[in-house]
Structure 1
């Protein structure tokens, strides 16, 4: 456990020092601040507009950070030859992957927490405390980002960052269109199209299960059954994908 934690902390420290990460965060902070300017020129429910822009920006930039960090997770270590030094110690390959993954999750949690804290401060300065459902939506967002990072980690174990980024982006897009794909499959005339749509729906994650954006924006209650269902789905799916990533890397020839 200590070795996994050491890997996680070192990975998180390395990720936080990345300049590209700061560029992404800079744009995220900029969008959050601009949401207040949008409020001033909006006719209607201004609080809803601010929550909508802020919620969308945190979701979007959180996903970008997850993909950016995850796709080069293993490749960087192999490219810099540091993986050989790490694995020469009593650290099995599965532990290496798990430690690196947890380090990215720790980094994501810090970044999301910073954005949520900034969002809260901006809301307090302009209006009032954001409703509690906003913070519940951040919990499910973290579950989504953990699953997305697991996919990025899987792809990074056997491909280059460019290829891993393309695969991860495809999973991200399809995952957010899962309900539409299911509907398309039910309406398709071709049996082959129906089968393909169903395979995509069941094989890839449904990221919309984690989305509480509408509830957060309009301050609607969230049934606890939905909340726990989404978290359980995320935990099970993330465990499966991460286990596959560890298995793939354990069998990879690093020579």
Structure 2
């Protein structure tokens, strides 16, 4: 990924980001509405079940909003990003899915890291976490290590590999016309890596799972080009 001096996004990319956000939010928000309608129609007899549905759906919507606010919004930019909030948003996002997240509190860049990396590091890491979580449809474990010169994310599950379209989007070889809502996170990882002056690489290999069965480990690594 080549370093770029502009963080401006193509209009199609922005449309795909909005489409992806709406896709990820419409289901839990719709479930909240369904729970309310259920109580309206059937009354107190279904209150407990409806409240459970509403509560779980609201947690999912809140977790996704919190993650996307930092991954795409202004709150995730700049050298003064609150990394405690960043880690908490990532943890909440992963907890409502099928994976687990291990991101130590001290695994963050210091103030001595390069200005470009500090500006985009949070967005880069968060989009990479979403990308790796999606690469494990059956769930798995995600381990994050962030330092001053880049990061490594290791995802281990029954299957853990990037789709062909995500690999192409990550390398920015497809152009924006070939992007889809499913590959937009991979594209954004590459985009933010370019802005941060980092090179992103990935690879999958066989890995033993905790239950003794065979699985896969996907590694996403970013390192600064001048290191």
* Shorter-chain TM-score tier: 0.3 to 0.5
Which TM-score applies when normalising by structure 1? 0.30
State the structure with bigger RCO (CA 8 A, min sep 6), 1 or 2: 1
Q: Which has the larger radius of gyration?
A: 1
